[in-house]
Amino acid sequence: MKLFDSGVYLSKEKGLISADSKEASSFDARGREKTLSYNILKNHNTSGSMEKLCLKFDKLTSHDITYVGIIQTARASGLKEFPIPYILTNCHNSLCAVGGTINEDDHIFGLSAAKKYGGIYVPPHLAVIHQYAREMLSLSGGMILGSDSHTRYGALGTMAIGEGGPELVKQLLGRTYDINMPEVTAVYLKGSPRYGVGPMDIALHIIREVFPGNFVKNRIMEFVGPGVKNLSIDYRIGIDVMTTETACLSSIWESDDKVRDYYRIHGRECDYRELTSEEGAYYDRGIELDLSEVKPMIAMPFHPSNAYTIEELKENLEDILIDTERRAKVSFGEELNYSLLDKVKDHNFQVDQGIIAGCAGGGFENICDAADILDGGDTGNGGFSLSVYPASMPIYMELLKNGSAEKIIEAGAVIKTAFCGPCFGAGDTPANNGFSIRHSTRNFPNREGSKIQNGQIAYVALMDARSIAATAVNHGMLTSAEDMDVDFRKPVYYFDKNIYEKRVLNEFGKADPDEELRFGPNIKDWPDMRPLPENLILKVVSYITDPVTTTDELIPSGETSSLRSNPEALSEFALSRKDPGYVGRAKEVRKAELALLSGKDPENVLGEIDELLSRAENAVKEKRDSFGIGSAIFALKPGDGSAREQAASCQKVLGGWANIAEEYATKRYRSNLINWGILPLRTENRSDLMLGSYIFIPHIREQVLRGCCDIEAYLMEKDNMRKIDLILDELTEAERKIILDGCLINYYKAEN
């Protein structure tokens, strides 16, 4: 794979041409306008400026971890009805096995909201969020915003973005998604995949090369070139959904007759139009990939970018396993006992579990190819197990009809219903020290469901469904699909729309204001949140030096997500797997803030605060009621992974006023901080801070109002206040107002 870290032009004949080369002189200055990305964004922009975009999306989609909070926020902000199609799917907490009735209570809330506000409700087990969107929502040249990080439908010609819930709230209230025009990276594909290589292999190959250096971070990946036509739609979809793990903003692909056929099969050919990048299209960066060079891959724990070819792993098995153990120590510390080397048997690596599931692995072609590999074999009766989750009931139906399901079951595997649980820790948690290979989206620490606070650890490696099936046939001995001799049938897919017509509630355009929302006992309103005070004292209550901090570490996924509709209850689990002392420390600071607001003496609540307040009062010559006291967390690079807004809202509920980071892993996490009124500060000198540090930010309200980037701030040491450098990167006018008002809910209340 070749990376171009500066501008390139697209030549239909020669591929990507560096903008610095003599050949580039023949292209005109309108190159940016010839990309697919530019034209789709232009058609959805309302600002009149292609530098400062104000986007309105065609459709919205959420699942049952996020839609309750979104609707509650929008409701508190004056929501009357859904102005565009908003799809409420139920694929994350669909087992209803944790917390009594609370999961199904949320589903009933979603159903009642669809009736009241005019939404589309997809019942549990019918489809995972992204498969339903592909089958029923995608449209060529359209844009969809989803409250899940893997909202990616670019392979079908739809530019889709995964964001935190408050960004969907803005769309529901008729507002816009405001960003600077993103840079666009061309992904030029040529050649064809070799035998045994699936879409996950291609995706991991790309992620390995581009993630470590932020090569496509917050950019749009535009897939072009002759290799696109050599990929089936399921292959394109499987690569596309994994672009989230590159940290890009979104993706879009050129379309052709295969995409037209997809729309035709799903009864929506009217939603198709051809999308082709023009000759001379200009891209800010470029990636050139020969698909024939990609081999079966494995992403070892604990990130999709920690990828090797399976061949490389086997040749360097002990070295790579030792390196993985080293990575575990970075995430989990030295106190746990574990050894991956114990899984080496006769120079082969023995795994414990295989999973093919969700928006990445549960596609029709993935499962059919896996079935062909399993055909006539067996998974053994030892410790290895294989579970397969088709991504939708229409896919499940076809697997039954064409015999694939029979082959899978006869081999000893289990087929389950559409469910995202294996992707985020709510299904198929391995045994302690277990090693699971999964065609799913992520393999972050504890994402498979183990609990570090209980002394548990398990591992997930990402692999393609074909190599997982090959491993299953060998009873868990790690095997590449390239080593199998299989004639893949490639059966034709037939979509049965009746499955959805009989179960999905579509009330768009038919809002009923008389419909009562149905609240379960776990569904709570957001607590009152204070506007940003004039002056702020922050205490650093968590200090994290891991290279990257995921949203799963900021607020665990798995069964804790069942509490997502109860802000106070969920906040008890914030940072519980990374810093178990965080909640207690944050609550102590919150006590001081509450005492200050009530007019009580904070000294009786948190003694050291009183003296700090006195020093700060003298510094700015302002009264105590102009101050706020809040907590802050420091992390090198927080926010990789999920779009779940709870990673930020839990901090806010606990009295958080700021994050301080060297950089933010994703735009969506920074957006979540802003929408919950949390200052997304940066520092280039982390040695200024430590756990327990106090930071005084005078006139913070005025600094935000003026749009200051270099924030005046002081470290409050024992005998003095030392100036430190804090940075607040560019905010839009609306973002500044949201922070000043204290959160998005307050922002809309102030306007109404």
Q: Domain coordinates of the chain in residue numbers?
A: 2-34+182-293, 55-177, 297-498, 535-751
The pLDDT value given to residue 2? 95
* CATH topology assigned to domain 535-751: Aconitase; domain 4 (3.20.19)
- For residues 678-699, average pLDDT: 93
Label residues 162-191 b or e (16+ Cβ within 10 Å = b).
bbbbbbbbbbbbebbbbbebbbbbbbbbbe
Non-local CB neighbours of 721 within 8 Å, separated by 6+ positions? 615, 619, 696, 714, 715
List pLDDT tens digits, range 438-494. Answer: 999 988 877 787 777 788 888 899 999 999 999 999 999 999 999 999 999 999 999
Average pLDDT, the chain: 91
Judge whether 297-498 and 535-751 match in fold: no
The pLDDT value given to residue 601? 63
Q: pTM of the entire structure? A: 0.91
The span from the CA of 479 to the CA of 205, in Å, is: 18
The pLDDT value given to residue 390? 97
Distances from the Cα of 390 to the Cα of 6, 246, 354, 414, angstroms: 41, 25, 14, 11
The pLDDT value given to residue 28? 82
92 vs 608: which has the higher pLDDT: 92
**Domain 55-177: top CATH class:** alpha beta
Q: How far is CA 409 from the centre of its chain?
A: 32
pLDDT at 176 over 80: yes
| SS3 of residue 284 by DSSP | coil
- For residues 617-623, average pLDDT: 82
pLDDT at 752 over 70: no
611 vs 313: which has the higher pLDDT: 313
- For residues 176-203, average pLDDT: 96
608 vs 14: which has the higher pLDDT: 14
Q: Which of 39-53, 122-136, 337-351, 624-638 has the least mean pLDDT?
A: 337-351
* CATH topology assigned to domain 297-498: Aconitase; domain 3 (3.30.499)
The pLDDT value given to residue 495? 96
pLDDT at 654 over 80: yes
Q: Which CATH code fits 2-34+182-293? A: 3.40.1060.10
The span from the CA of 674 to the CA of 670, in Å, is: 6
The pLDDT value given to residue 10? 93
List the Cα angle 665/671/672 in 5-degree steps.
Answer: 95
pLDDT at 333 over 80: no
